Structure 1
Amino acid sequence: MSHSVNSILSQIRSYQTLASQPLPAADVARSNAIEGLAGIRPASAPVASFTDTLQGALADVNRAQQVSGALAAAFERGEPGADLAKVMVASQQSQLAFRATVEVRNRLVQAYQDVMNMPL
């Protein structure tokens, strides 16, 4: 069980690394103009605790979902920079990140229940 949790956590860390990489200038400008996401930036300081890591992963999932929604809305409005391929890729990325987060949550709940059911 711990191997699968470690695997999922490593996947979340890789998503966090990918999310912290800078976007091309055109994508950043379009994202900022689309939904006013200028205030959302990845954390640049290294995380030290499990809580910080988990909060960072949740923030990355949230950001991926916001960017996906912004691109979908731009595509629906017919804006020239938002093509269907980018919308679909962003949608799949946010969906995959959300599924991984739910799986980590399920594993943590199961681990908590296992500990609580241990005989003293």
Structure 2
Amino acid sequence: MKTSAIDSGRIEAMMAQLKAAAQKPSASSPLEGISAPTLSQKPQAAGRVDFAEVLKSSINQVNQSQVNAEALGKSFAMGDDKVSLSDVMVAGQKANISLQATIQVRNRLVSAYQDIMNMQV
């Protein structure tokens, strides 16, 4: 599968979506298994988003989509009548696309880090 580089405008749009997703309560999330922050975590100021939490949440969502796709595939292979082949294929493609997007974001972050480290002070 050939992947092309994502331009910076698309990266910025993805980061905005990640920030928006991190601010939504998990009850409205279409993915199951993602828990809301507990009371032991420190509250953040309104409008401020912790990058580490957004990144962790995004990676958890990618993982959950892959687990969901694998579970649907196993159910279909075992002969479950409730799972259609199209559901399995769509879930697999969603998981693949989310993984590829995550890899592109990671590559862009590593590149930005290397650029910053190579700057002369």
TM-score over 0.5 (shorter chain): yes
The C-alpha deviation readout for 1:42-80, integer Å capped at 9, x for no partner, is: 2445x8301000000000000000000000011111111
Q: Structure 1 length as normaliser, TM-score?
A: 0.71
Contact preservation (8 Å) 1:68, 1:91: yes
Distance 1:113 1:106 in 2: 11
Would you say how many aligned residue pairs link Structure 1 and Structure 2? Answer: 103
- Note the C-alpha offset of 1:82: 1.0
1:21 corresponds, among 4, 23, 29, to 29
Structure 2 runs not aligned, ≥5 long: 1-6, 38-43
Greater mean deviation of Cα atoms: 3-12 or 66-75: 3-12
> In the alignment, what sits opposite 2:15?
9
Root-mean-square deviation (Å): 2.8
Q: Is it true that 1:41 corresponds to 2:33 in the alignment?
A: yes
Distance 2:95 2:20 in 1: 14
Q: Higher relative CO (CA 8 A, sep ≥ 6), structure 1 or 2?
A: 1
Q: Structure 2 length as normaliser, TM-score?
A: 0.71
Letter in 2 for 1:72: G
Structure 1 runs not aligned, ≥5 long: 24-39
Contact preservation (8 Å) 2:18, 2:54: no
> In the alignment, what sits opposite 1:68?
69
Identity of aligned residues (%): 34
Letter in 1 for 2:29: Q
Distance 1:4 1:116 in 2: 24
